[in-house]
Structure formats: structure tokens, C-alpha cells
């Protein structure tokens, strides 16, 4: 799921925490 994490980082809102 690294791709999703990378996309989340690219997005404006910090979705990384949600994906984590």
C-alpha cells in the first residue's frame, strides 16, 4: 500500500494518518 501512502502525501490534506 506504499502507492496509496505516496498519493496521500501528494494530496493537500494529510491522508497518510487515515491510511496508516
Q: Which three cell numbers stand for residue 12?
A: 493537500
Residue 2 is predicted with a pLDDT of 74
Residue 4 is predicted with a pLDDT of 66
The pTM score is 0.14
Alpha helices in 1-20 (DSSP H): 2-10, 16-19
Q: Which residues contact 10 (CB under 8 A, 6 or more apart)?
A: none
Query: pLDDT tens digit string along 1-20?
Result: 677 666 666 666 665 666 55
Residue 11 is predicted with a pLDDT of 65
Amino acid at each position: 500500500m506504499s502507492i496509496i501512502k505516496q498519493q496521500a502525501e501528494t494530496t493537500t490534506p494529510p491522508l497518510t494518518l487515515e491510511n496508516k
